[in-house]
Amino acid sequence: MLCLPRLPSPKVIVEPSHACGSGMSACASRILCARSDVQFSAHRLARERRSLAGTFDPTKSTRLEDRLAARSSAIGIAWSITGTTDAVGRPALAIEVSGLVPLECQRCLQPLEWTVDQKTVVALAGSEDEADALDAESDGEVVLAAGPLDPLELVEDELLLTLPYAPTHPEGECTAPLIQASVQAP
């Protein structure tokens, strides 16, 4: 169970329109914009079964930069957010992220390309109380969507949850000699 509360953002667009210049209704059917700096109504997206999509560069994210290999050049992670319902019919978002993320192997400290291919369905809560209730009764993720949401924040959250804290190359592909941990018996 995981609740992801959203901090209110200073930029709230009352009539959502997408960065591509289309209105939300035209854009939300299938948008592929290079950037997405708008907020959207998650409940409306769920109700209308529409989707948002774009690419996201984690090297530009202050929340993700610590997790990436140093001096990463720009990368593009494909994302989409689709309005849907969860297993019991409540409004939800299906969040998909996929791409290669440059991480650093924690054994040899050499670059490591980590494949992300994640699809998560998050239930929508209209209030803190509803978020608590949903959280208590389901194993899935719950997102507080009392107001407009920033799609890239949702994508960032998914990446933060899916990226390993201590990634290592697969056995046999790591250049580091095995480090002998010296464990002293008390």
DSSP designation for 146 = S
The strand pair at 111-125 and 91-104 is best described as antiparallel
- What count of other Cβ atoms lies within 10 Å of the Cβ of residue 44? 17
Q: Pull the structure tokens for residue 173.
A: 């592909």
CB of residue 109 to Zn ion, shortest distance in Å: 7
Q: Which stretch binds Zn ion (CB under 5 A): 19-27, 64-72, 103-111, 144-152?
A: 103-111
Give CA–CA dist 91/145, Å, rounded.
Answer: 11
Q: Cβ of residue 111: shortest distance to Zn ion, in angstroms?
A: 9
Site membership for Zn ion, residue 90 (CB under 5 A): no
Q: Using CB under 5 A, which of the segments 20-28, 133-141, 152-160, 170-178 binds Zn ion?
A: 170-178
The one among 108, 121, 146, 160 contacting Zn ion by CB under 5 A = 108
107 binds Zn ion, rule: CB under 5 A? yes
CB 94 within 8 A of CB 82: yes
Segment near Zn ion (CB under 5 A), from 14-22, 64-72, 98-106, 177-185? 98-106
Q: For the chain, how many residues are written?
A: 186
Judged by the rule CB under 5 A, the positions of this chain that interact with Zn ion are 105, 107-108, 169, 174
